[in-house]
Amino acid sequence: MNADQVQGLIGLLATLGLLILMILPSAIGAVREARIDRRIRRAQEGHADQETRRVRREREEAQKSSSRSTVPSTATWYAEGRRSKKLVNS
Protein backbone atom coordinates (compact mmCIF):
# COMPACT_ATOMS: atom_id res chain seq x y z
CA MET A 1 0.00 0.00 0.00
CA ASN A 2 1.28 3.40 -0.81
CA ALA A 3 0.77 6.60 1.21
CA ASP A 4 -2.28 7.73 -0.78
CA GLN A 5 -4.10 4.47 -0.11
CA VAL A 6 -3.30 4.63 3.63
CA GLN A 7 -4.58 8.19 3.82
CA GLY A 8 -7.77 7.14 1.97
CA LEU A 9 -8.26 4.23 4.36
CA ILE A 10 -7.72 6.48 7.41
CA GLY A 11 -10.18 9.02 6.00
CA LEU A 12 -12.76 6.29 5.36
CA LEU A 13 -12.40 4.85 8.85
CA ALA A 14 -12.63 8.33 10.42
CA THR A 15 -15.79 9.07 8.43
CA LEU A 16 -17.37 5.76 9.45
CA GLY A 17 -16.39 6.38 13.09
CA LEU A 18 -18.03 9.82 13.08
CA LEU A 19 -21.12 8.43 11.38
CA ILE A 20 -21.43 5.72 14.02
CA LEU A 21 -20.93 8.27 16.82
CA MET A 22 -23.72 10.41 15.39
CA ILE A 23 -26.17 7.55 14.79
CA LEU A 24 -25.52 5.65 18.04
CA PRO A 25 -27.40 8.00 20.45
CA SER A 26 -30.54 8.03 18.30
CA ALA A 27 -30.42 4.23 17.90
CA ILE A 28 -30.07 3.80 21.67
CA GLY A 29 -32.97 6.23 22.20
CA ALA A 30 -35.19 4.34 19.74
CA VAL A 31 -34.50 1.03 21.47
CA ARG A 32 -35.18 2.61 24.86
CA GLU A 33 -38.48 4.13 23.66
CA ALA A 34 -39.60 0.78 22.26
CA ARG A 35 -38.87 -0.89 25.59
CA ILE A 36 -40.82 1.79 27.49
CA ASP A 37 -43.75 1.46 25.06
CA ARG A 38 -43.83 -2.30 25.65
CA ARG A 39 -43.91 -1.76 29.41
CA ILE A 40 -46.73 0.78 29.14
CA ARG A 41 -48.72 -1.55 26.89
CA ARG A 42 -48.27 -4.46 29.32
CA ALA A 43 -49.32 -2.27 32.24
CA GLN A 44 -52.44 -1.12 30.41
CA GLU A 45 -53.34 -4.69 29.49
CA GLY A 46 -52.79 -5.73 33.09
CA HIS A 47 -55.03 -2.93 34.28
CA ALA A 48 -57.68 -3.96 31.76
CA ASP A 49 -57.40 -7.55 32.96
CA GLN A 50 -57.85 -6.44 36.57
CA GLU A 51 -60.87 -4.35 35.59
CA THR A 52 -62.39 -7.30 33.74
CA ARG A 53 -61.84 -9.58 36.73
CA ARG A 54 -63.45 -7.02 39.05
CA VAL A 55 -66.53 -6.73 36.81
CA ARG A 56 -66.85 -10.52 36.60
CA ARG A 57 -66.55 -10.82 40.37
CA GLU A 58 -69.25 -8.18 40.87
CA ARG A 59 -71.56 -9.97 38.43
CA GLU A 60 -71.02 -13.28 40.20
CA GLU A 61 -71.77 -11.67 43.57
CA ALA A 62 -74.91 -10.06 42.15
CA GLN A 63 -76.05 -13.41 40.78
CA LYS A 64 -75.37 -15.11 44.10
CA SER A 65 -77.40 -12.55 46.04
CA SER A 66 -80.35 -12.73 43.62
CA SER A 67 -80.42 -16.53 43.73
CA ARG A 68 -80.92 -16.60 47.51
CA SER A 69 -84.20 -17.73 48.97
CA THR A 70 -86.72 -14.94 49.52
CA VAL A 71 -88.79 -16.77 52.15
CA PRO A 72 -89.43 -14.37 55.04
CA SER A 73 -88.10 -15.23 58.46
CA THR A 74 -90.26 -15.99 61.50
CA ALA A 75 -89.63 -12.49 62.84
CA THR A 76 -91.02 -11.02 59.63
CA TRP A 77 -94.16 -13.17 59.84
CA TYR A 78 -94.65 -12.15 63.46
CA ALA A 79 -94.29 -8.47 62.57
CA GLU A 80 -96.72 -8.84 59.66
CA GLY A 81 -99.30 -10.44 61.93
CA ARG A 82 -99.04 -7.61 64.47
CA ARG A 83 -99.34 -4.95 61.76
CA SER A 84 -102.45 -6.50 60.30
CA LYS A 85 -104.10 -6.73 63.74
CA LYS A 86 -103.37 -3.06 64.40
CA LEU A 87 -104.93 -2.08 61.09
CA VAL A 88 -108.05 -4.17 61.79
CA ASN A 89 -108.41 -2.78 65.33
CA SER A 90 -108.17 0.84 64.20
pLDDT at 79 over 70: no
Distances in Å between the Cα of 32 and the Cα atoms of 19, 39, 49, 52 are 20, 11, 26, 30
pTM above 0.85, yes or no: no
Would you place residue 23 in the very low, low, confident or very high pLDDT band (cuts 50, 70, 90)?
very high
pLDDT at 25 over 90: yes
Give the start-end residues of each E strand in the chain.
Answer: none
